[in-house]
Structure 1
Amino acid sequence: MEDGKKKLKGSLGVAPIVMMVVATAAPLTVMVANTPLMVSMGNGISAPVNALIATVIMLLFTVGFVAMSKYITNAGAFYAFIQKGLGRSIGLGSATLAVVSYSMILVALHAFIGYATADALNGLLSINVPWWIYSFGAVALIAFLGYRDIELSSKFLGIALILEIAVVILVDIAILWDKGPTGLEMASFEMANIISGSPGLGILFAIFSFIGFESTVIYREEARDPDRTIPKATYTAVLSVGAFYVISMWCAVSAIGHDNIAAFAEAHGADLYLAVTESYFGVIFMDVMHVLLITSLFACALSLHNIVVRYKYTLGRYGVLPERFADVHDEYGSPHVSSAILSAFCVAAFTVLIATGADPATEIYAWGAMAGTLGYMVILSLTCAAVVVFFRREKTPGQLWTTVIAPTGGLIGILGCLWVAVSNLPDLIGGDHAKTVSILVLLFLLATFAFGFCVAERFRAHQPVRFEALRQLA
């Protein structure tokens, strides 16, 4: 890294980093949107077990991830790990895949924010405004926060996160008060129920719920004492998110009951968790939850924006992207140029999508989120493999558990979920053209990875100085 280049500025401790990670996971959105899918498409009453298994997989991943993090010195996150373990060409391929995957999820979130806001305001206040107006408003506000220093974003995310977690905890407490600790549904943990239905899909949706947790490493340059802060923040984020999901999903399915779960899921569909909430607190509280769902989506979008911006900042810093991407604001210490370019991309993407008449929920959100999440899972798999290869090749000191056993276990679990996702992709995407869209999604992701890989190989053959510079990305 060149000493003459300005670094990002910040003094983030464990708490604000954990807040940004958990905000990306969007716990209220997971409870409202993912829990019904885990119940209806997964294995019903055993949804909390899916969350528990996903937590174990992500914890195994985290063991190797944290062990290797002390050998990573920049804000490159996953692709820095992949490059250090699997080489520069695969590393750059994963970098382009990561940027595109997260960008697709970001556009999908902006679309759903617009859709959810328009629907809420129309239902509550009879305000009828096109969804895309709210989407552009979300892009503008996130652009402002991305331009400013990272502490401002962390404060905003902290407030949103406290509110959304509080509302879910209130529902948990109401269910526990009604049922009592002994009234929680033990059928969730019976093997017959765990293996019923499609447990693979249930675990897959649970894995989706952890997206973005690697942002602990992305904020390395802006962290206070990163060698201590990053490991603590990573473990805290994974364990707290996992425990939150397991307990809250267990409470939700217990409120419905084993005998009623199938009929309840069929009757309420995607509104399953909202229906549980309404049964305990009434319509007004459910309306409050609708509003907080929008802030949860916004917090997730802001966190993803910060992640993508820092990916591009690192690529610009080492000459993969134009150097302008690595510009740091004199006052705020933020990657303001990279942030502005990403916001401009979102505006351009929405302009095209609006012109085509794409539906914000069933098309933009469903297709963008699924495609981006598939790319994310490929990157998770490559990172696990990179950790194992790195420690075996370098023969660095470390326990067998942290350098081989745990990351290999995480790799097996993530590859299993990836296989389930690809096998069920048409059903997950839905719609009349699901099969065609599925093929296009897979080809697009493959082409994205191949582009970065080929760029690195071209550097190797024709621009050895630039190829050598890629080494610094890790």
Structure 2
Amino acid sequence: MFQLLFTVLAFNGPLAIIVGYITVVIGMGNGLGAPMAYIACGILIWVFAAGFTRMAHHLQNPGGFYAFVTAGLGKPAGLAASFLALASYYFILLGATAYSGLLMQQLVSGTLHGPHIPWWVWMSVWVTITATFGYLKLDLSARVLTYLLAGEIVIAGIYAGCVTAKGGAEGLSFNSFTPQMAMSGSIGLALLFAIMNFGGFEATAIYREEVKDPDRTIPRATNIFIITVTVLFAISAWVIIQALGPSHAVAAAAANPTGVVSDTIGQFVGRWAQLVVSILVNTSVFAGILASHNIASRYVYNLSVDGILPRRLANVHGRHGSPHRSSVAVSIATVVGLAPFILFNANPLVLYAQLSGVYGYSFILLLLLTTVAVFCWLRRQTLPGVTAWHRTIAPALAGIGLCGVLWLTTTNFKLLLGSSSELAYITMGGVFATGLSGVAVALLLKRKRPHVYQRIGRQ
């Protein structure tokens, strides 16, 4: 179970979020109330998971959101969800891979005073390493991710302990956890940015065919993931605020969101810790890349098994047990997708921010689609262990909450994407067009290839 849990946790790159993302929630979101934004999102995802894990127990299908939406809302909606999910994981894979090259360049030439090597060269190294691990057995990737994640958690714990022991910059304050602070600033943006840090947990269901005793492992791993992410990021947000000092935290986080945490690590822990964190942030982003690659590969595999994509991609490696051809296809698609950005010398940091925004919007749409599917599917079934909480109350509450988050995301999409209004509208249209293309393909298959249509959703 723990290998699966660490694989899913690694998707978010916890240390990378602590060092360079939570500060965005503080600086642009609800300020000193940032810890409460993570707690609120954690509760929302936990409510969502109540029905999700019950459905996973009885559906016993490795298709993730693809299978869930198909079972609950029908094959056209299911294929729309699969197209949307695959596109979202592909975009975050492209963005994170480009960003990894920039981070490695900064580490080698800046922190370590080594040779100046172009970011795309380092990026190519990470692509090669990711492709190798993606081809091999999942257990190997899981072990690597476990070791990397352990290092991230340890250094985050040391940082939190040192800041707390030294009383922060202005003495410890727990005002962040009061309702007044929780609702301060832009609570909408805070929730929007925070919920994106809960991505990837559907992988607990996607890996059903590759884990032991999935009926017990999947719900346990899902719930532990939600609790761990909520506690880790809420506490980290509070620690960052204490390290900066409540009176200066918001301004400092807004002025230097990617560097201010590293500065406080040097102040409270030591210069050695800054170096360690610089290295671990690189491995943290790599862990997220590998996790994204593996999830995208499983989506390609599931679509290939169903005949939506070429069946040859559905082959499983005889020795490694991995969907190796799907993994190779994702690796090739990654190189092809990144090539234009290299040729036109795009800024990898801007690219990462914009593609992360696309992923975040798609993720919220997928959560909403899935919670509606869970509601519909469980209400049509009479199943042991499924109560009114799982069947009706939890999906309804999650649906209401996710509708609110989706509205906030839509109205603030320009800020999420970090772009002009025109580009934001075009991008949003592209997200919906991706989903609608799935519906169109499903309807076409129903007419032209009904035997393939019947298999949609790993049915």
When normalised by structure 1's length, the TM-score is 0.93
CA shift for structure 1 position 267: 4.5
- The one of 206, 230, 242 equivalent to 1:218 is 206
* CA 1:171–1:455: 2 relative to 1, 3 Å: same
Q: More deviation in 146-155 or 453-462? A: 453-462
Give CA-to-partner distance per residue, 1:275-326, whole Å, 9 cap, x none.
2212212333212211100100000110111101011111111111111111
What aligned pairs does 1:223-234 form with structure 2 within 5 A after superposition?
Answer: 223-234=211-222
| Aligned equivalents of 1:64, 1:266: Cα separation in 2 | 38
Q: Which amino acid aligns with 2:8?
A: V
The answer as to 2:234 corresponding to 1:276 is no
| Aligned equivalents of 2:309, 2:256: Cα separation in 1 | 47
Equivalent in the alignment of 1:473: 458
CA contact (8 A) 1:116 1:294 kept: yes
- RMSD, aligned CA: 1.6
Please give the secondary structure, in 2, of the residue aligned with 1:405: helix
CA shift for structure 1 position 183: 5.3
Equivalent in the alignment of 1:447: 433
Q: Which amino acid aligns with 1:231?
A: P
Q: Which amino acid aligns with 2:400?
A: I
CA shift for structure 1 position 395: 4.2
Q: Which amino acid aligns with 1:39?
A: I
Q: Which amino acid aligns with 2:381?
A: E
Structure 2: tracts of 5 or more residues without a match: none
Please give the secondary structure, in 1, of the residue aligned with 2:318: coil
CA contact (8 A) 2:262 2:274 kept: yes
* CA 1:455–1:266: 2 relative to 1, 3 Å: closer
* Identical residues among aligned pairs (%): 33
| Aligned equivalents of 1:86, 1:302: Cα separation in 2 | 31
The answer as to 2:95 corresponding to 1:111 is no
Q: More deviation in 61-70 or 244-253? A: 244-253
Equivalent in the alignment of 1:96: 83
What aligned pairs does 1:386-401 form with structure 2 within 5 A after superposition?
Answer: 386-397=373-384, 398-401=386-389
CA contact (8 A) 1:185 1:257 kept: no
Equivalent in the alignment of 1:8: none
The answer as to 2:43 corresponding to 1:39 is no
Equivalent in the alignment of 2:248: 260
Give CA-to-partner distance per residue, 1:420-465, whole Å, 9 cap, x none.
122111122225xx22221121111111111111111112223222
| Aligned equivalents of 1:430, 1:136: Cα separation in 2 | 26
CA shift for structure 1 position 99: 0.5
Q: Which amino acid aligns with 1:387?
A: V
CA shift for structure 1 position 139: 0.8
Number of aligned residue pairs: 456
| Aligned equivalents of 1:143, 1:381: Cα separation in 2 | 32
Equivalent in the alignment of 1:80: 67
| Aligned equivalents of 1:20, 1:408: Cα separation in 2 | 29
Equivalent in the alignment of 2:176: 188
CA shift for structure 1 position 32: 1.3
* CA 1:262–1:240: 2 relative to 1, 3 Å: closer
CA shift for structure 1 position 71: 2.6
What aligned pairs does 1:168-183 form with structure 2 within 5 A after superposition?
Answer: 168-179=156-167
The answer as to 2:121 corresponding to 1:133 is yes
- The one of 356, 368, 371 equivalent to 2:358 is 371
What aligned pairs does 1:272-421 form with structure 2 within 5 A after superposition?
Answer: 272-362=260-350, 364-397=351-384, 398-421=386-409
Q: Which amino acid aligns with 2:376?
A: V
Q: More deviation in 271-280 or 377-386? A: 271-280
What aligned pairs does 1:138-149 form with structure 2 within 5 A after superposition?
Answer: 138-149=126-137
Q: Which amino acid aligns with 1:18?
A: L
Give CA-to-partner distance per residue, 1:200-241, whole Å, 9 cap, x none.
111111111111011111110011011111111111111112
Q: Which amino acid aligns with 1:448?
A: T
Equivalent in the alignment of 1:464: 450
* CA 1:320–1:267: 2 relative to 1, 3 Å: closer
The answer as to 2:152 corresponding to 1:164 is yes
CA shift for structure 1 position 266: 4.3
| Aligned equivalents of 1:84, 1:282: Cα separation in 2 | 53
CA contact (8 A) 2:21 2:257 kept: no
When normalised by structure 2's length, the TM-score is 0.96
| Aligned equivalents of 2:123, 2:353: Cα separation in 1 | 16
* CA 1:446–1:266: 2 relative to 1, 3 Å: closer
Structure 1: tracts of 5 or more residues without a match: 1-13
CA contact (8 A) 1:34 1:206 kept: no
Q: Which amino acid aligns with 1:90?
A: A
The answer as to 2:408 corresponding to 1:423 is no
* CA 1:282–1:268: 2 relative to 1, 3 Å: farther
| Aligned equivalents of 1:310, 1:108: Cα separation in 2 | 19
Please give the secondary structure, in 2, of the residue aligned with 1:224: coil
Q: Which amino acid aligns with 1:77?
A: G
- The one of 104, 109, 112 equivalent to 1:122 is 109
Q: Which amino acid aligns with 1:391?
A: L
Give CA-to-partner distance per residue, 1:347-379, whole Å, 9 cap, x none.
1111121112211111x2111111122111111
The answer as to 2:240 corresponding to 1:246 is no
